[in-house]
Chain A
Amino acid sequence: MAAYDVIIIGGGPGGYVAAERLGARKKKVLLIEKEALGGTCLNVGCIPTKTLLNSAKHYVHALEGEKYGIKTTGTSFDWAAMQAWKGEVVEKLRAGIAATEKRLGVEVLAAEARLLGIGKVEARDSRGAATVHEAPAIIVATGSTPAMPPIPGTKDNSRVVDSTGLLELKEVPKRLCVIGGGVIGVEFAGLFAALGSQVEVVEMMDEIVPFMDKEQAPVLRRAMKGVAFRLGCKVERLEGATVRYKAKDGDAAAEADLVLMAVGRRPVLEGWGAKEAGLDMTPRGLVVDERMRTNLPGVWAVGDVTGKSLLAHSAYRMADVAVADILAGGGASRRADRMRYDAVPWAVYGITEAAGVGMTEQEALAKGIGILKASLPLRVSGRFCAENGFASQGAVKVLADRGSGRLLGVHVVGAYASEMIWGAAALIEQELRIADAREVIFPHPTVCEAIRDALFELEHE
């Protein structure tokens, strides 16, 4: 008889949430993590970057305070102290996860896991001692790592770091070149620009943050005053910290002290026996169905390793879906949860935030969906003006289906965007139409009221 009900490989957002859910349902759970609980998100992703960014916000607000009647002199930042605060936050949250797992009876094992096949997982501890554990259900949540493209001059180049390396910097670079204008690149660019670094972002595509609406991305770029964006530029090679790239009008170079490689992340598909066990995969991730089942019976996969949506909150949801399926006994329960990707909100953090959920205008057009759209500057919000001035960048855009009136997408650039977007996700997830959504009461004074205003801007009965 198997010693555990469920074995989970990986203690990141997908893994530890699944463990909590199962523990709360009195399942006997083994959670195997080779590094630190919390995964990329807590240790080298969401949380440490947001902690540093918060410090940067305080710094910027102090510098810009005079406009609002606050005078400071000798304002400066202490990078080491910022890093120390970051460390404290991460450590305390990590301890919080460990305490929660313990409270819920989840057994956490610090070891490297290997899937031996259906129902069997080997755990090898730091001294190399291996034990085999069995369970009728296994959840794979091995996550992802920063991708390192084979750009000439990258290998063994001490001036090139990935996001993990950048978080460990001992000092702030004077000049930073970011290769890749995705979420990670833009966030770090914003952080270091706020701290006074001279930042250049080199992006191969014509616009930053590929999943942003093409009308909104420029608003975000304009908000990031200290950052130079080189769009449509292909990096050719690195020479030390000099990034040579091909622009539309010829070759160019970005001189920097440090280069951040932020071209994306790739799922961790190797080193834990996936291929040997016979799991179906593509280079983009493990193949899973809408209930997070892999091709192997009794093996589920959640989070970045599926390559479906590399976001911590997607991993949380995937964990819930997998757990629901496991608790249903693997049967075809009609009410079983299904993973849906149509209303996964995203957020880009910075002094100015961006967030969105649902379709962009470009996606809707590509699908041939007739749309209604309305965009408003966030200046329609009294609170936004009071807190950001009248010249600040900020906009909201709402899209709806022209025929049915159903909301298709909500996109926001500006303060609090990340905090308000869940509400839009709820509207879209419920397939509310414009008329339905207009009945929802928004609090005042808030920035999110701009979404309500935009709903009324749509030309719809």
Chain B
Amino acid sequence: MAHLLIMPRQGNTVESCIIVRWKAAEGQSVQSDQTVCEVETDKASFDVPAGASGFLLKILRPEGDDVPVLEPIAVIGERGEDWQAALGGAAPAAPSATATAASAGPAPARVAPAASATPPQAPVAAGVSAVSPRARKLAAAEGVDAPNLAGSGPGGRVIERDVTAALAGRPPLTAAAKAAVLAGAPAPAFGTALGGRAGLADLGSKAPSAPAETGNVFTETPLKGVRKLISERMRASLAGTAQLTFNGSAAAARLQALRARFKASDPALGLSEVTIGDLVLYAVSRVLPRFPNANATLENGALRVYERVHLALAVDTPRGLMVPVIRDADLLSLRQISAQAKRLAAACQAGNINPDELSGGTFTVSNLGAFGIESFTPVLYAPQVAILGVDAIMPRAASGPGGTVVLEQRIGLSITVDHQVIDGAPAARLLKAFADAIADIDLLLMA
């Protein structure tokens, strides 16, 4: 019995994926766990396994197609089997809920998240980007130099939306200029002809010239991809929440001592790579369950308090801020948390993070300590209701024995809460609990 291979769902925010490449041809024999195609979202690319062994009877959606999740993309079955039967009569070009329903068998369940099964994909070399087939087609029709666009796809891959954005940022062309661009002339970035159109004189023109008043040259680039996403989320966060930040600090002596011992420890213990940041993550994962209202999300006027701590981690990447999630952090050991944090950060840096791992966070930690930041106001990763900013460890004055003043190494902590659901005093209690846990991190680890 033939079964439908469907476009797997990749996290809650992903509505569709672009088929980048079919790795198996029609008529080819495939194994259940064999990758048959590569798909991409705006955040990442991943491989889709066949999900069933047999023959790839029919590819329903060609390379370059943007396919809504859970829609069929191919039929796998016995040799000579009628692939149309699997579709239940639905036309392949207009797959729908009926087609999905017809496949309501094992297929969706068998589609495993790709990241765990395949090695990370190497990012494309800077400068000239890879271009998805759909993007290439549109670019050819409109005379856009796709390989030189800043791709918002994985590894800088240029996908259709990049070409669309390039077109939106380009002035309309006169008939002659359009013909010239299609014939290979450099596309204009702005136009001086009729009504702001770009004419032949504008071919190859650069983006807006300098304002005469200041003589200051600038370039203008529309936000796209990850940057656009961050822009929207941050603005939505500040506009839709009542943010309030508290700053405090914790004694860092034991943190530093522990870190020094880990570093010097036998690698066989698996602790030598554990950082101060990992220790703070561990402390947070253990304190949060005592403050359930902070391990929560607020959406549409309803507060969701979570049982498990899905600890989100702000990661600085070349493409901008990404926030991967360590799931069930409250159940993981220090070594596991450390390993997860490293794996996720690396995947974000490489641009091949599984979108599933970018969603579902219940609380976020943003660590800027390495930059010497003494305090800051972290912005909530809405709909989460709290975020902890970790600052640098600095020597600070403290009262010593006999009324003397001594210097003490302290780590700064900045917590932002959504005052809609967390008042000042509970926020202060939470910050104090974090500080106490960090100050006595060695005891916490033994608890």
Q: Which of A335, A340, A430, A431 has the most CB of B within 10 A?
A: A431
Q: Chain A residues near B177: list those with CB within 8 A.
A: 431
B180 adjacent to A404 (CB under 8 Å) = yes
Q: CB-defined interface of B158-199 with A at 8 Å, one 1/0 digit per residue?
A: 000000000000000011110110000000001011101101
Stretch in B148-156, B203-211, B344-352 with 4+ CB within 8 Å of A: B203-211
Chain B residue with Cβ nearest A429: B194
Q: Chain B residues near A406: list those with CB within 8 A.
A: 175-176, 200
Q: Chain B residues near A401: list those with CB within 8 A.
A: 176
The reply on B212 being an interface residue by CB < 8 A is: yes
B199 adjacent to A431 (CB under 8 Å) = yes
Chain A residue with Cβ nearest B174: A431
B175 adjacent to A432 (CB under 8 Å) = yes
Q: Chain B residues near A290: list those with CB within 8 A.
A: 192
Roughly how many angstroms separate A331 CA and B209 CA in the complex, as a whole number?
11
- Interface positions, chain A 385-412, Cβ under 8 Å from B, are 401, 404-406
Roughly how many angstroms separate A332 CA and B207 CA in the complex, as a whole number?
12
Chain B residue with Cβ nearest A435: B175
B179 adjacent to A429 (CB under 8 Å) = no
Binding site for A on B (CB under 8 A): 174-177, 179-180, 190, 192-194, 196-197, 199-200, 208-213
Would you call the interface of chain A mostly helix, strand, loop, or mixed? loop
Closest CB in chain A relative to B192 CB, distance in Å: 5
Do A433 and B176 contact each other (CB < 8 Å), given the known contacts A332-B208, A332-B212?
A: yes
Query: Contacting A430 at CB < 8 Å: which of B190, B194, B213?
Result: B194
Chain A residue with Cβ nearest B180: A404
The reply on A276 being an interface residue by CB < 8 A is: no
Query: Contacting B200 at CB < 8 Å: which of A338, A431, A436?
Result: A431
Please, could you name 12 A-B residue pairs with CB atoms under 8 Å apart, sorted by A?
A330-B212, A330-B213, A340-B193, A401-B176, A404-B200, A406-B176, A430-B194, A431-B175, A431-B176, A432-B175, A433-B179, A436-B175
Additional pairs, 9, CB under 8 Å, beyond known A405-B176, A430-B194, A432-B176: A293-B212, A297-B213, A334-B208, A335-B196, A406-B176, A429-B193, A430-B193, A431-B174, A431-B176
Do A331 and B193 contact each other (CB < 8 Å), given the known contacts A404-B179, A430-B175?
A: no
- Report the 6 A-B pairs with minimum CB-CB distance, sorted nearest first: A431-B174, A332-B211, A431-B176, A406-B176, A436-B175, A338-B192
Closest CB in chain A relative to B272 CB, distance in Å: 56
User: How many chain A residues touch the partner (CB < 8 A)?
Assistant: 20
Chain A residue with Cβ nearest B207: A334
Would you call the interface of chain B mostly helix, strand, loop, or mixed? loop
Q: Chain A residues near B213: list those with CB within 8 A.
A: 297, 330-331
B176 adjacent to A334 (CB under 8 Å) = no
Q: Chain A residues near B200: list those with CB within 8 A.
A: 404, 406, 431
Closest CB in chain B relative to A17 CB, distance in Å: 19
Closest CB in chain B relative to A387 CB, distance in Å: 33
Query: Contacting B209 at CB < 8 Å: which of A293, A330, A332, A340?
Result: A332
Do A340 and B212 contact each other (CB < 8 Å), given the known contacts A431-B175, A431-B199, A432-B176?
A: no
- Interface positions, chain A 332-360, Cβ under 8 Å from B, are 332, 334-335, 338, 340
Closest CB in chain A relative to B311 CB, distance in Å: 45
Q: Chain A residues near B211: list those with CB within 8 A.
A: 331-332
Closest CB in chain B relative to A343 CB, distance in Å: 9
Q: Chain A residues near B212: list those with CB within 8 A.
A: 293, 330, 332
Q: Chain B residues near A297: list those with CB within 8 A.
A: 213
Closest CB in chain B relative to A292 CB, distance in Å: 13
Closest CB in chain A relative to B164 CB, distance in Å: 20
Roughly how many angstroms separate A405 CA and B211 CA in the complex, as a whole number?
35
Closest CB in chain A relative to B338 CB, distance in Å: 50
Q: CB-defined interface of A288-330 with B at 8 Å, one 1/0 digit per residue?
A: 0010010001000000000000000000000000000000001
Closest CB in chain B relative to A391 CB, distance in Å: 39
Q: Chain A residues near B196: list those with CB within 8 A.
A: 334-335
Chain A residue with Cβ nearest B183: A404
B179 adjacent to A430 (CB under 8 Å) = no
B193 adjacent to A433 (CB under 8 Å) = no
Q: Chain A residues near B192: list those with CB within 8 A.
A: 290, 338, 340
Q: Chain A residues near B193: list those with CB within 8 A.
A: 340, 429-431
Roughly how many angstroms separate A255 CA and B175 CA in the complex, as a whole number?
55
B174 adjacent to A430 (CB under 8 Å) = yes
Roughly how many angstroms separate A293 CA and B197 CA in the complex, as a whole number?
22
Do A334 and B179 contact each other (CB < 8 Å), given the known contacts A293-B212, A406-B200, A431-B200?
A: no
A433 adjacent to B175 (CB under 8 Å) = yes
Roughly how many angstroms separate A293 CA and B211 CA in the complex, as a whole number?
13
Roughly how many angstroms separate A406 CA and B192 CA in the complex, as a whole number?
17
Closest CB in chain A relative to B168 CB, distance in Å: 14
Closest CB in chain B relative to A290 CB, distance in Å: 7
Roughly how many angstroms separate A166 CA and B232 CA in the complex, as a whole number?
71
Chain B residue with Cβ nearest A289: B212
